Amino acid sequence: MPLKLIVNKEAKTVDVAPDTPLLWVLRDILNLKGAKYGCGMGVCGACTVLVDGRPVRSCMTHVESIAGRQITTIEGLSPEGPHAVQKAWEEVDVAQCGYCQSGQILAAAALLDRNPHPTDAEIDAAMNGNLCRCGTYPRIREAIHHAAGVNAEGK
Amino acid sequence: MKVSRRCFLQMSAVAGGGFMLGLYDLPWAKAQGSPQLTPEAFIRIASDGTVTIMARGPEIGQGVRTMLPMLIAEELDADWNKVRVEQAGLDEEKYGPQFAGGSMSTPIGWEPLRRVGAAGRQMLIAAAAEQWGVPAVECSTEAGRVLHASSGKSAEYGELADRAAKIPAPKMSDIKLKDPKTYRIIGKSQRGVDNHAIVTGKPIFGIDIELPGMLHAVIQKSPVYGGKVKSANLDPVKKLPGVRHVLEIDGTLSTAAVVPNEPGMEPGIAIVADTWWQAQQARKALKVDWDFGTGKTQSSEAFAKRAAELLRAQPENTMRSYGDVDQALKGAAKVVEAVYSYPFLAHGTLEPMGTTASFKDGKLEMWTTSQTPGEGRGLAAKTLGIPPSAVTVHLIRAGGGFGRRLMNDYMAEAAWLSKQVGAPLKLLWSREDDFTHDAYRAAGYHGLKAGLDANGKVVAWRQHLVTFGEGDDYPAGAEIDKLEFPSGRVPAYALYTSQMPLLLRTGWLRAPGVNAICFVGQSFIDELAAAAGRDPLDFQIELLNAAPIPLDKPQQGGDPPLNAERLKGVLEMVAEKSGWRERKKTPGRGMGIAAYYCHLGYFAEVADVSVDAQNRVTVNHVWAAGDVGSHIINPRAAENMCYGGIIEGLSHMGQEITLVDGQVQQANYHQHPMLRMRQTPKIEIFWRLTDNSPTGIGEPTLPPILPAVGNAIFAATGKRVRTLPLQKSGLSWA
């Protein structure tokens, strides 16, 4: 049965089993490869996307459950040029392998959206669900503070 | 097959074009049989001045796609802002060794890749001199331009590119390299060349490859390693939505006492479908009756029990023995005895194993994340019965390697499946496949006994490792080096092994073998220091001050022996930076120190740890001092690697893979936890630059953190961590 999705502000129609995880619809039907498969059970966060601005685990989200809601992937985070978080990630040189970073960036963007100046403890709490196998955590903290500073200057 | 680091180095070397090993310190170009690298292979300059530099090695997150091109760009005197990096395909004749392992990219790239850049610069100068009719010696370069000072002429590299391309490359051995004092790129942090693609979600990873008409595959394997299919309900599975093919893989495993780390395809059932999710869903309907074979009798509990028996018995093999250890122990003022053990571990790269393959008309093309693509090509060719020359391999950025991708089973599988179904195909293991069919870090059990004299000096050291294998054969990463510290630095020493058969594949995990063996040695030295009433730092330095007793017969190949001055140097540096000498003794909080030499790098680390009333451990702060030679080529990226090694080492302390009835019990991250952000300490890295050729940092940062934390836990609580994971020592991460 065709399902109507709104992905990165664009209307999409997909014909998949309604319990297909959003992750695989994004990756293999809509060809948006930014969200990554890591664990398939919501414990690593590599598949994180935003639904109505909140981070969700797309590997655990049946696609029918979010029909009609605003889905934002890393590809659509900032269509007008890099988001402050993406810029910070590049400048701070966060990535090692980079595989988890789409999920990390979306989680960080959602954090800064609701809390523009998080403390280390607030960062740790918000980011704790996103695993980084390479150990980029110190740089992620640094980049979030960096992005928060850039945001502050822009205001 | 023996698969020590020494052998790994030799095997990799053969794969990498046959250069000799143990020759790190010699200019690589002089090494026997090495391919002659040329500027033409690595450098392209467009008329607009854009310089394209080929990245030769597999990128697994260690930063070689940025760092190795920096070496070329420096000596080319290119403007880094105009450099574009392009990934080389597999062609070791042209590019030299193309593997990612052993922290070797830096030591084997440093000399030849700088020469490639310098040769290119020399050709550009020759072109300018020719154009201007001036002597080449009067020309110089700066950031993408050739200059002629006396006439004031100057030209951008782009303007000279056509003419330079016609000039024959100079003899590589005649090339003059820059004075390092003039470096503009090496030693300055350059951002990862893929940073923008990563932060914008571009499809740059192995899992992201798309080919027209591509199918998707998963493979169901036996829960017991090497189990074969007796029967399976293939027909109903074939009828499920999207499913195109369901095939049985016969597999090629032997049941020898030592499982090779690269055994080929494991038996199983492959499901090939239009999408990966359809293939994965179809597994739910698949019912397989397995013949588990003899592997089903294995369990972690039985291994531990058998190891305890073997530790009480006469050891089977003597790795090294000198002095009279038993006599010296008898005469010692104090004897300290302990048993240490650690479990199997999984790699758990965040991107699971997989490869995309297309077999057509007798030719195979592969897009892979292998760390040893040359060996993977050989394995795939052998599996298909075609010559390696019929295989094209593209090197794709990997979502983590950590040694798992040194093994290429997934390449053989993808190649075989593409041939069977007659279509291009992407194989992707599920996370559960990845955890339960890994090539695991080997478990180990060490019995240690050491004697101290009345002055607290070590007079005897006896170490007995119970590991796996049979006779001279050890599975990958399960052996111990006869020069394992403090071998040669105590007056009487014996290192023994005993072995148990193992029907499970082991493999190399970041700092193979020593990621656990260092924990044992450096923790036990801390025990001895405590027994002697000495500061662990002074105690360790005293061991390093002993004149080393050489081996009766020098070992062939491999790394040069430990340089005590370099290890002492980083120990003293980390002590100073961490305030070791001024540390306070507070109940529940303590500092621990450890140091290690491996993979040509020297690292000393101090951990500041708190342990609460529920025995929950928090690592507050880690200081690391490293000596990897004269230059830190890309400083921020180098720090990233250190963070990575330290955080991974902390993760190891809380992880285990266990076997029950031959079946791996951990299938996902919640059962084999990686450190999370809130558990990550503050980490500070300090470099001790020494007059040595630069070496790698992927691995040597890892081993010391485990004993540093264990020793800190002892300082905080008086409890000694001798069994990993921490849970087995009555502790857990906070």
Radius of gyration of chain A (CA): 15
| Candidate from A34, A93, A128 with C-beta closest to B640 | A93
Residues B501, B505, B507, CA angle at the centre, nearest 5°? 115
Q: Do A95 and B683 touch (CB under 8 A)?
A: no
- A&B contacts, CB < 8 Å: 175
CATH for A84-154? 1.10.150.120
Q: Which fold has domain B300-345+440-555+562-733?
A: Aldehyde Oxidoreductase; domain 4 (3.30.365)
Q: How far is A54 from chain B (nearest CA, A)?
A: 18
Chain B residue with CA closest to A78: the answer is B200
How far apart (Å, rounded) are the C-alpha atoms in residues B441 and B724?
A: 13
Give whole-number Cα distances, B612 to A125, B190, B566, B693, B733, in Å: 20, 41, 36, 44, 10
Residue B12 has a pLDDT of 45
CB contact under 8 A, A89 and B195: yes
The reply to whether residue A38 touches residue B194, judged by beta carbons under 8 angstroms, is no
Using a CB-CB cut-off of 8 Å, the residues of chain A touching B644 are 96, 134-136
What would you report as the CA-atom Rg of chain B, rounded to the nearest whole angstrom?
A: 27
A33 vs B400: CB contact, 8 Å cut-off? no
Q: Token digits for A148?
A: 């928060």
> Per-residue pLDDT for B17 more than 80?
no
Question: For B288, phi and psi rounded to 5 degrees?
Answer: -120, 135
Residue A88: list chain B partners with CB under 8 A: none
Q: What is the average pLDDT value for chain B, to the nearest integer?
A: 94
CB contacts of A35 in chain B (<8 Å) are 201
> Does the beta-carbon distance from B275 to A28 stay under 8 Å?
yes
The predicted model gives B333-347 an average pLDDT of 98
Q: What are phi and psi of B673, to 5 degrees?
A: -70, 140
* Tens-place pLDDT, residues B35-88: 678 899 999 999 999 999 999 999 999 999 999 999 999 999 999 999 999 999
| Mean pLDDT, chain A, whole residue set | 95
Q: Does A73 have pLDDT greater than 70? A: yes
Average pLDDT over residues B712-721: 98
Least confident range of A7-11, B190-194, B262-266, B473-477: B262-266
Residue B9 has pLDDT above 60, yes or no: no
Is-cis flag, bond preceding B135, omega within 30?
no
Residue B619 has pLDDT above 50, yes or no: yes
Asked if the model's pLDDT at residue B429 lies above 60, the reply is yes
Cβ distance of A135 and B680 shorter than 8 Å: yes
pTM to 2 decimal places: 0.96
Question: Which chain B positions have a beta carbon within 8 Å of A31's beta carbon?
Answer: 210
Residue B649 near residue B619, CB atoms below 8 Å: no
In whole angstroms, give the CA distance from residue B191 to residue A94: 9
What's the number of CA atoms in the CB half-sphere (13 Å) around residue B619?
32
Domain ranges of chain B: 5-199, 206-294+353-428, 300-345+440-555+562-733
Do B206-294+353-428 and B300-345+440-555+562-733 share a fold?
A: yes
| Residue B494, strand partner residues | B321, B462
Joined together, the tokens standing for residue B642 give 């250190």
Name the CATH code of domain B206-294+353-428 (choices 1.20.1260.10, 3.30.365.10, 3.40.50.740, 3.30.360.10).
Answer: 3.30.365.10
Convert the pLDDT of each residue in B304-326 to its tens digit: 999 999 999 999 999 999 999 99
**For residue B191, which residues of chain A lie inside 8 Å, CB to CB?**
90-91, 93
Structure tokens at B242: 């999207």
A contact test, residue of B200, B639, B655, B680 with most A CBs within 10 A: B200
Chain segment A27-47, per-residue pLDDT in tens: 999 999 999 999 999 999 999
Residue B291 — very low, low, confident or very high, per pLDDT cuts 50/70/90?
A: very high
Please give the residue of chain A at the shortest CA–CA distance from B369.
A97
Fold held by B5-199: Aldehyde Oxidoreductase; domain 4 (3.30.365)
| Contacts B402 to A, Cβ<8 Å | 133
Contact check, Cβ <8 Å, B61/A29: no
Could you tell me the residue ranges of all domains in chain A? 2-76, 84-154
Instruction: List residues bridging with B365 in a β-sheet.
Output: B358, B392
- Over residues A80-125, the pLDDT tens digits come to 888 999 999 999 999 999 999 999 999 999 999 999 999 999 999 9
Tokens of B406: 């040194």
Instruction: Give the minimum alpha-carbon distance from A7 to chain B in angstroms, rounded to a whole number.
Output: 15
Query: Distance, in angstroms, between A12 CA and closest chain B CA?
Result: 18
Structure tokens of B25?
């310190």
Q: What is the architecture, at CATH level 2, of domain A2-76?
A: Roll (3.10)
| Encoded tokens for B97 | 């060794």
Measure the CA–CA gap between B384 and B379, rounded to whole angstroms.
Answer: 9
Asked if the Cβ–Cβ distance from A90 to B668 is below 8 Å, we say: no
Q: Which stretches of B468-513 are DSSP H helices?
A: none
| Whole-number Å distance between alpha carbons of B221 and B104 | 34
Q: How far is A117 from chain B (nearest CA, A)?
A: 18
> Are residues B26 and B83 in contact, defined by beta-carbon separation less than 8 angstroms?
no
